[in-house]
Structure 1
């Protein structure tokens, strides 16, 4: 048998496979549960807006023709929503596609990329694939962001700072005052990338209006958003970035594939963006159920991180993969965390009331033992 590894770059060999979780079909075929609660990928239990359903007559041309490579209609709708200009917006095959685009365009071998930890693994993986060196700023024991360490890292002028706010998987966040102090420490030569995949669930007095703050600065930045979470379009893979200048996006556009977002996704995103009532229902359900699930876990003496996402991060008291397997037997899919130092932690998505009840019941029946 030939050694395929000899053809592969060392950076690729060192990247662990992404834990994308099990599908409904895989769980059904393996465990045969009566019902499945898919709570591992932070999907929207209400699904997409009915307005985002593309008609069969529209589908014919959307299937047949190449999409607008710049997604101009969607970019214009986004510009109106976020007070930007269409040339400041870039689309991606989900926001994770744009993380890869940014890293390919910016990160050189040996460059330092600073991120919060534990992290969305692709924040680290794409930087490493380009030969970058990841600097982790680990959360404090109370799950809060170590702002002193983050500001100190910014003053060291890394090539790029990339993190999620709210953090994925933890759910904690950087508030307005802390964000402003941090931004003062960022050097203009550092590219700042803020992943706001869960921002719709986080709005409030203690969550920053990031774009307003960034626009008033002299820094180079990109804010990433997605339609996969609160808008319920995960299966269509559509995300976007808003940047500090059209010039910066011009270079990023040279790196992405020309047709990286499909026509159906673009059309559905425009429709979803216009249905504010559906978004409100989605967020209201998530916030109410997030509080209920968090409280229920605390009543069971489980250590839970505060969260502004549509998920909860908690210490399950055993190897997280073993814990997750016990829940799978009861038809509940959660995400065991596998990054070093957090392998006893699980991220559970906030689903419907029924799904969350199924999780709590399975927790008591199947997974309360300790190793």
Structure 2
């Protein structure tokens, strides 16, 4: 055993490496396909607002100077968009950075964290790293969220309730009524953290953001959002959290690094927020293509979870890692899910129409 292992906390050894997905370069080196459809990381196929191109041309000062550590201009714009106070907003190097900040600030060894399962792995990893225990609430056989089980779990008064809505990787979501049930069952001892990374794709019909519901409670809460998905800024790493009150946000500010969001990311996020038309095009395309790909998968008699994200979760009926390797040979990158009990499931991102055509042709050939 390496002596270096003695220097690392035991909780670190309990973590599994994060499955960040393959890059285009890695697939080219491995198989050299004629073309590649990158559909493994839920990226936006249209990309960011065109206004960002003009912004980049005058960005030299952003490279030379430290960014605004408070991100005040961006926080003001976010607050106006979501009708909250500026002092409730905290910025992060992606929303995953804020997951780390919250866990380090709140969790203690022995604390309990309730989350949905299968989960975004970092929802569990940061809790484990802090010595907390994770209670998983698994989806039902039809891959919908088990609201009764989730309500029962939060009545046990965990330190934190953390889940994504829509759910990643499954795509399932809580309706307004179901979300209200869960929140009403949660006590004051529990910090409620709702990860709404895919909310822009989900709005409408029986989905609502948790913000208006949480805003009417006096419980401690956080809502997380990101610019990586619908806004197309995954490479710049920027997200934000909305806290129940300025006091919680101020305490979390003490835990994050002072310059955790760079100047270019702040400027890009401001430009992206201002271009509502571009966001609408992104969301409309994702919804249209999501329905088309879902119908294709169901026609192939594959079990597909209903989804409100820019992705679909389906059962390939065999070991997902081996199945995905067959798609990689044809230049299609998707993500095999590796959490226990779901190793026959694959998450495919919704790309451009041509990328989705590439995926469907490759899948047809593989089946």
TM norm structure 2? 0.99
Unaligned residue ranges in structure 1 (runs of 5+)? none
Report the count of equivalent residues. 367
Deviates more, 1:312-321 or 1:200-209: 200-209
Partner of 2:155: 155
The 5-angstrom pairing of residues 1-371 of structure 1 reads 2-53=2-53, 55=55, 58-366=58-366, 368=367
SS at match of 1:255: coil
Residue 2 of structure 1 deviates from its aligned partner by 4.2
In the alignment, the residues of structure 1 paired with residue 177 and residue 239 of structure 2 have an alpha-carbon distance, to the nearest angstrom, of 28
Provide Cα deviations, 1:76-128, integer angstroms capped at 9, x if missing partner: 00011000111000000000000000000000000000000000000000000
Residue 189 of structure 1 deviates from its aligned partner by 1.6
Residue 48 of structure 1 deviates from its aligned partner by 0.5
Provide Cα deviations, 1:184-234, integer angstroms capped at 9, x if missing partner: 101012100000000000001301231111101111100000000000000
Residue 357 of structure 1 deviates from its aligned partner by 0.6
Deviates more, 1:270-279 or 1:204-213: 204-213
In the alignment, the residues of structure 1 paired with residue 158 and residue 297 of structure 2 have an alpha-carbon distance, to the nearest angstrom, of 39
TM norm structure 1? 0.97
Is contact 1:165-1:195 (8 Å) kept? yes
Provide Cα deviations, 1:347-368, integer angstroms capped at 9, x if missing partner: 00000000001001110113x1
Q: How much is the aligned-residue C-alpha RMSD, in angstroms?
A: 1.0
Residue 52 of structure 1 deviates from its aligned partner by 2.2
In the alignment, the residues of structure 2 paired with residue 59 and residue 23 of structure 1 have an alpha-carbon distance, to the nearest angstrom, of 27
Residue 178 of structure 1 deviates from its aligned partner by 0.7
SS at match of 2:282: helix
SS at match of 1:79: helix
Provide Cα deviations, 1:48-94, integer angstroms capped at 9, x if missing partner: 00112354553211000000011000000001100011100000000
Is contact 1:89-1:242 (8 Å) kept? yes
In the alignment, the residues of structure 1 paired with residue 204 and residue 337 of structure 2 have an alpha-carbon distance, to the nearest angstrom, of 28
In the alignment, the residues of structure 2 paired with residue 173 and residue 59 of structure 1 have an alpha-carbon distance, to the nearest angstrom, of 39
CA gap 1:54/1:13 in 2 versus in 1, 3 angstroms: farther
Provide Cα deviations, 1:126-159, integer angstroms capped at 9, x if missing partner: 0000000000000000111111111111111100
SS at match of 2:222: strand
Provide Cα deviations, 1:283-316, integer angstroms capped at 9, x if missing partner: 0000000000000000000000000000000001
Residue 263 of structure 1 deviates from its aligned partner by 0.3
CA gap 1:54/1:190 in 2 versus in 1, 3 angstroms: farther
Unaligned residue ranges in structure 2 (runs of 5+)? none
Residue 182 of structure 1 deviates from its aligned partner by 1.1
In the alignment, the residues of structure 1 paired with residue 330 and residue 229 of structure 2 have an alpha-carbon distance, to the nearest angstrom, of 25
Is contact 1:90-1:249 (8 Å) kept? yes
In the alignment, the residues of structure 2 paired with residue 256 and residue 228 of structure 1 have an alpha-carbon distance, to the nearest angstrom, of 19
Is contact 1:54-1:264 (8 Å) kept? no
